[in-house]
Amino acid sequence: MSASLEDVIRNRCEWLRGEGPLSEIVISTRIRLARNIRGFPFLPRADADLRAQVADTVETTIRRTDLLADYLHLSIDELDDLDRRVLVERQLISRQHAEGSGTRRVAFDPGGSCSLMINEEDHVRVQVMRSGMQLDAAWEQINAVDDALDAKLDFAYHAQFGYLTACPTNVGTGIRVSVMLHLPALRITNELDKVGQAAKDMKLAIRGLWGEGTEALGDFFQISNQITLGRSEEELIDDFHRTVIPQIVEYEQQARQALTAKRLHALDDKVYRAMGGLQSARLMSSTEAMQCLSHLRMGLNIGRIKTIDLNTVNDLFIQTQPGHLQKLHGGRLNGEQRSIARAALIRSKLHQN
């Protein structure tokens, strides 16, 4: 069925549900697979007609697969920039997918936990997102989707190299595992280099909230694997599970405890100023909103603030983004208008009266 963006934005993002193990620090878990269909060229070498054929083939398969029958379908190339922005903000599609050219589509489950990007960099990219630390559940879900597609599509696979992908860095398992972490205390205590070292030791990359090239807004960090060749999917997932994520989570917990025990005034100053700013401002940039919401979220998680609902804060992370903000407002807004609308939205959600 065709999706309505208006319906989509009213749902809570799966990855911002604030549920799942370690959800005070692990925002979400994401696994992505890259697949290409044998017999079609990789996209950089496919003309418009071939791209359309690939898209039709994949979409038809999705519609005919029981497991994916209720997925919502959108043609990215037919959407305006605002709608594309909303999909990027929800992480249902990548920025590359939004900004690409030619026939591009997406299908996603109504809950927004699984999306299939058609003609992004590869013919199909399957992405599963889960709130909190849920690698096993995500792995199970993406495997089921992969198997269902695999039963109907002939994926390009090489006995020695594994799955073949448009970009060599994805060849092999074609899997990218990514865990989004909320690390406000480590930023305050100026210990983020510990996280960088832990990631580097395991050959993992660190990026901001919306992926490559984005800043770590609101103290959110994505840790993801760089190597897809020569390791099994299970080994990759194990790296995250057993070593790097528990270690970083412990660093953040230690930083929060240290702040609470030794620098409570400084901690409360950050937390309460964030809340005060959010409740008072009449103009607010998305960058400032993310930073204040980040501190407020930490304040809620460690029990320094009890008067605000965590879900309200989680929702605001996405509702204050430019695309969502304009869709919620019902029309395009310039920079200053967004700043006014954002501040008004936040006040309306966070004021008790």
Which residues contact its own copies by CB under 8 A? 265-266, 268-269, 272-273, 275-277, 279-283, 336, 340, 343
Shortest distance (Å) from residue 306 CB to its own copies: 15
Q: How many Å apart are CA 103 and CA 43, to the nearest integer?
A: 11
Which lies closer to its own copies via its Cβ, residue 198 or residue 267?
267
Shortest distance (Å) from residue 220 CB to its own copies: 23
Shortest distance (Å) from residue 330 CB to its own copies: 19
Shortest distance (Å) from residue 266 CB to its own copies: 6
Shortest distance (Å) from residue 186 CB to its own copies: 20
Which lies closer to its own copies via its Cβ, residue 196 or residue 276?
276
Shortest distance (Å) from residue 316 CB to its own copies: 16
Which lies closer to its own copies via its Cβ, residue 126 or residue 346?
346
Shortest distance (Å) from residue 267 CB to its own copies: 8
Which lies closer to its own copies via its Cβ, residue 160 or residue 353?
353
Q: Are 199 and 223 in contact (CB under 8 A)?
A: yes
Which lies closer to its own copies via its Cβ, residue 51 or residue 338?
338
Which lies closer to its own copies via its Cβ, residue 39 or residue 276?
276
Which lies closer to its own copies via its Cβ, residue 158 or residue 351?
351
Shortest distance (Å) from residue 282 CB to its own copies: 4
Cα 34 from chain centre:
17
Residue pointed to by tokens 């020695």: 160
User: What HEC string does the chain produce?
Assistant: CECCHHHHHHCCCHHHCCCCCCCCCEEEEEEEEEECECCCCCHHHCCHHHHHHHHHHHHHHHHHCHHHCCCEEEEHHHCCHHHHHHHHHCCCCCHHHHHCCCCCEEEECCCCCEEEEECCCCCEEEEEEEECCCHHHHHHHHHHHHHHHHCCCCECEECCCEECCCCHHHCECCEEEEEEEECHHHHHCCCHHHHHHHHHHCCEEEEECCECCCCCHHHEEEEEECCCCCCCHHHHHHHHHHHHHHHHHHHHHHHHHHHHHHCHHHHHHHHHHHHHHHHHCCCCCHHHHHHHHHHHHHHHHCCCCCCCCHHHHHHHHHHCCHHHHHHHHCCCCCHHHHHHHHHHHHHHHHCCC
Which lies closer to its own copies via its Cβ, residue 248 or residue 274?
274
